[in-house]
Structure 1
Amino acid sequence: MTAELSRIRPEFTLFERLKAGPGRTTGYRLTTAEHIAELSRAGELLYRNARYDAEYAIDRAGVSELVEHGLIPVLHMGQVAGASAVEAFPIHWVKVLLWCPLDVTEARCKLRGDKDLEARLKVWHETRQDLLDHAKEPWSVVIETQLHSPAESASIISEAVRAVVGSETRDIRRLVG
């Protein structure tokens, strides 16, 4: 999705979260848990979370650097609290909820060759519950990714950014069933 966004408008840029711990390294700025804790104590984090036996963080300086260069940061988040927390950074955020059913998630994980399939399916269930627990959370755009190609989804998101779309409450219970 991010690659499609960047293809449409090169200023869309993946925000590489700070990561401390095992697992994938592509798309992250690797650091230590101690460094993330230091940034947290200094009030320099917008959000931090733990998942897949690793710790992740979104730092103000990292977002600032992209914005100062005229780029549009694309943040990949898996928690409603994180999507809300980054709004403390003073830019217009377009909050996009990408969703697909469990069977689609499983098929995509297998196609990618994910070696941690069970953990990813567990996270799907956790994310579903998080969305249900925060069903009143407003979103700018909701896309059911099994119904749209990545290019179509990227166009929807790009248009929402261009139009400075606000957020509104959506029917999350219907979405996640």
Structure 2
Amino acid sequence: MPNSRGVLLYGPPAAGKDTITSQLVTIGPYAHFQRLKVGPGRTSGYRMGTVEQLATLRKHGQVIYENRRYDSTYVVDRSELDAILHEQERVPVLHVGQVDAIRAIRRGYPLTWTVVMVFCPREEAEKRLIGRHDARVDERLAVWDETLTEARRADPALFDLVLNTDSFEPTHTAAAIDWCQRHHL
């Protein structure tokens, strides 16, 4: 395999995962892993799918992790990771908001994963959500609370790097992740 590395960005809504990923893509051989989404709502940053496609992925053992939120199902699938690694020869960057997702991905797709927790103050997350005209601000802030509560309960060794995205410019955050990923600290 040409590449055996990946980045997991764990964090609550509006923590900066999309912005950081955009910066990573500009500085290195990174590719945003777009989860398959089955359901309504935001389409940007996802591969939209159908119930039938999801059933086929499940039937063929392609689902590494899936979760339900916001009336939709979100899927990390083996075939898309394979495409990024083998066809594009890139380092996949996955966005997750559950500790169980980190564990399932590490177990289900063994790479050298750099796990980065990104967060920002709740007030900043709310400003970001309002600024992007999110229709579900209250719901996403409730998820923000759940995600940070889960992170506080998690073993700190789960994360290779923890970054407050309100304290650093996205270019510096991406550079720190790139350095950590390349040196796998």
Equivalent in the alignment of 1:16: 34
Q: Superposed, which structure 2 residues align to 1:1-177 within 5 Å?
A: 1-9=20-28, 11-68=29-86, 69-87=88-106, 88-136=108-156, 138-165=158-185
Once residues 30 and 110 of structure 1 are traced to their aligned partners in structure 2, the CA distance between those partners, rounded to angstroms, is: 24
Write the deviation string for residues 50-70 of structure 1: whole angstroms up to 9, x where unpaired: 111110000011001101121
Quote the offset at 1:102 in angstroms. 0.9
TM-score (norm 2): 0.83
Higher RCO (CA 8 Å, separation ≥ 6 residues): 2
Contact preservation (8 Å) 1:46, 1:86: yes
TM-score (norm 1): 0.87
Q: Which runs of no fewer than 5 residues in structure 2 stay unpaired?
A: 1-19
Contact preservation (8 Å) 1:33, 1:55: no
Q: Which runs of no fewer than 5 residues in structure 1 stay unpaired?
A: 166-177
Quote the offset at 1:136 in angstroms. 4.5
The count of aligned residue pairs is 164
Write the deviation string for residues 114-136 of structure 1: whole angstroms up to 9, x where unpaired: 12111110110111222233245
**SS across alignment from 1:76:** strand
Quote the offset at 1:137 in angstroms. 5.3
RMSD: 1.4
Quote the offset at 1:146 in angstroms. 0.9
**SS across alignment from 1:75:** strand
Contact preservation (8 Å) 1:143, 1:153: yes
